[in-house]
Amino acid sequence: MPELPEVETTVAGLRPVLEGQRLALVEPRRADLRRPIPVDLRQRMTGSVVTSLGRRAKYGLIETDRGDVMIFHLGMSGRWRIDPAELEKHDHLLLETETGRRLVLNDPRRFGSLDIVLLSDIEKYPPFATMGPEPLGDDFTGNYLKAVTRDRKAPIKQLLLDQKIVAGLGNIYVCEALHMAGISPRQKGGAISKPRYERLVLAIKQVLTAAIAAGGSTLRDFARPDGELGYFAKDWLVYGREGEPCHCGALVQRRVDSGRSTFYCSRCQK
């Protein structure tokens, strides 16, 4: 599933094509993805000017001069294609600007979603209503993480994947950040000291920033809007490297927690 860096990379790729442009055509090419596409999406978006693009957690945001925000989620395999030569079977939303640029949202597995809400109501949008702070934002600090996990007995990896604690973190980058910070994924959240939490927050910000700069990670079907695959995956320290040597010489291990693979080094991470 595309994670936060992949969504950030996607938004960055869409921005120069869409920002400031009037949408001449908005055409949903099916009635639903993971859930129904709003029936008024075409009417509300057609003729509007895209004023800005952004991201909240793993959701992309396309704002218009009418005060609407189209919210997209890429699901398991969604991606935007820019100026395709022809439309494909799984191109489920078509956008055309007045300047003739074409963008299509492609999603073979249809686990993504499309919604449209008023900008003034965006904090009430159900997925956003209970979300924690952005991991790259100033509100996400060691003090915050220590306070919100105080007395929690759940493993730190499970807590970091809780969107109510921090928005947008996914399995890949949590594994990488915990390794970088030297913290075992099984360590109880409430048992981690403030200095270690500060180190963890720094690691999270560093690994996400590096992945965004690299264009996102190549994982199955993910591709940037320009069609180029991300290349941060080559720099993974533990994720997907079971049985390979860690930089300390010990072998990377894998365990399954709640259906997700956890990769870690038992020597480096305590």
Which amino acids are annotated catalytic? 2-3, 58, 260
Strand order in the sheet with 102-106: 23-28, 91-97, 102-106, 79-82
3-state secondary structure 115-184: EEEEHHHHHHCHHHHCCCCCCCCCCCCHHHHHHHCCCCCCEHHHHHCCCCCCCCCCHHHHHHHHHHHCCC
Tokens of 219: 């994982």
Judge whether 119 and 43 are in contact, CB under 8 Å.
no
Alpha carbons 29 and 206: distance in angstroms, whole number: 39
Judge whether 242 and 254 are in contact, CB under 8 Å.
yes
